[in-house]
A and B are shown apart, each in its own frame.
Chain A
């Protein structure tokens, strides 16, 4: 069974702090996606990483795909209250199915 483990499960920080969220698996994925979900809404795609070692930046968010394509990280610089939400990583398996992690719930206090 393919699993994606996210850590930490919950993170509460002050505005302006930096943080990193991790997504790990023993399986190799053809690509990995990060989604953000706000309360009462569905997940929204932030980024897709495809190549081992790839780094993508989206304003204050930096996403990295591990060299072996088994893990990924999301780093947020100078977090803001608007970053509050549930962050989900999802691994694509080369078919129709996508494996989702359980998510990291981030709360940024003003």
Chain B
């Protein structure tokens, strides 16, 4: 069974801190994604990666960076956290074939104070 694990369910950080969100998958998928989910706005793509060390900007990459050093791990980094980055963050994976459904982790609810 596909499993996507996000390191924290809840996280509280302060403005200006550097924040790391980790995502690990066990199904050997090539594609990995980071989204943020806000009420009324749906899921918005921050970054995605289609291979180790490869990354592409999504729709809202500003203020974020990512790292994919190993196939199974995709990290989202908030370089200097701000209050408008308070949100639910979801990691997802999919098979390399195009148009494959995405498998999601349970999310990290991040609050920036």
Interface residues of A (CB under 8 A from B): 9, 30-31, 33, 35, 40-45, 48, 88, 90, 92, 94-98, 100-103
Contacts and interface: CB of A to CB of B under 8 A. Distances in A.
A31 B106 contact: no
Given A42-B4, A42-B107, A100 B43 contact: yes
Given A43-B104, A45-B102, A96-B50, 6 more contacts: A42-B107, A92-B98, A96-B31, A97-B58, A98-B102, A102-B41
Interface residues of B, number: 25
A30 B99 contact: yes
Contact of A96 (B56, B90, B104, B106): B56
Interface of B: 4, 9, 31, 35, 40-43, 45, 48, 50, 56, 58, 90, 92, 94, 98-99, 101-107
Nearest to B92: A42
B10 to A, nearest CB: 10
Looking at chain A's contact residues, the main secondary structure is loop
B42 to A, nearest CB: 4
A31 B99 contact: yes
Contacts of B58: 97
Contact of B48 (A43, A94, A96): A96
